[in-house]
Amino acid sequence: MTWQERIGGLVDTLLDRSVLAGYPRSGFELRRRLPGWPADPEPGALRDRAAVVTGAGSGLGMATAAGLARLGARVYLVVRDTAKGERARAELADTVPGAQFRVLRCDVSDLEDVRRMAGELLDAEHAVDVVVHNAGVLPPTRSTSAQGHELALATHVLGPLRMTESLRPGLRAADSGRVILVSSGGMYTQSLPANDLEYTVGEYRGATAYARTKRIQVALAPMLARRWGPDRIAVHTMHPGWADTPGVADSLPGFRRLTGPILRNLQQGADTAVWLAATPEPLPSGRFWHDRRERPAHLLPWTRETEAERDAVWSWCAQAAALP
């Protein structure tokens, strides 16, 4: 490593720990100019590969789908609303001429609907190379999924677990499958809710529910890496920084009013997910990423969980998602 790259790494770390400097658009733009910024995937890096993106009807999901398609992937857009999905498909087809997009209907919070969709996808594709779990919700009040689980937990944790397990034969057939969970920097504010995964205690707040379930994603990633690693399936979690998404506008209007001028565009927010899906670099599985670099899972000491707490959360989630 050159001294320029060492300085670049130090600046990158300072940006990350400061949050206010690293998460906005300016943080991304500065990092891209630092020595040591990881190389872009080669053109055609995903040619003849199949990729799945949940929540692909708008926002980061749609931007991720576009990024994967530009690299040659056939992209399956997993959406709850097929009409919205078809509008996104038409827009994406104009944005990435010649790319292949297909809409699949699925409510990611509904485990039975996830099984159905996964079966439909495996009928169409022998190998599934990339799965990006991007679908997200921020409920204004506590609500539950078709199976009775708190909605953020079902959407961000249980549904992705069930979907990945159901797609495991396709990911195994790809021989180097990659699973990417889009988390959030907001998870740094939360500890693992090992004793109240369903958020039944205390006043319910959607933003807290969102951040708690994103913490669960990051905490479980090393266990998922061990579970699926023997099938050469890598698992990565990442966060996009502060991006100007429809979800932010709808669910956090106050935050958007304050930060609107500095928010990242959608392509910048999706950059690391696309890079994780396509980079030829051998990356460690089960880690947390932001702006193409591995990041610590904790910034605040009081959010750290014990191994026993992680094991308990994993056992509960695996059972709730009906993993064999």
Q: Tell me the catalytic residues.
A: 210
Q: Rounded CA gap, 157 and 65, in Å?
A: 21
Contact assessment for residue 273 and residue 54, using Cβ atoms and an 8 Å cutoff: no
DSSP string, 108-139: TT-HHHHHHHHHHHHHH-S---EEEE------
Contact assessment for residue 159 and residue 114, using Cβ atoms and an 8 Å cutoff: yes
Write down the residue that tokens 């460690």 correspond to.
Answer: 284
10 Å Cβ neighbour count for 279? Answer: 18
Inter-CA distances, 55 with 9, 88, 204, 219, 247, Å: 33, 11, 24, 22, 11
Phi-psi bin for 290: left (phi > 0), alpha (psi -120 to 50), beta?
beta
Structure letter (DSSP) for residue 243: B
Token pair belonging to 23 = 């998460």
In the sheet where 130-133 sits, what is the strand order?
101-105, 74-79, 50-54, 130-133, 178-182, 234-238, 287-290, 293-295
- As beta bridge partners, residue 237 has 181, 288
Hey, CA dihedral for 283, 310, 173, 46, is it positive or negative?
negative
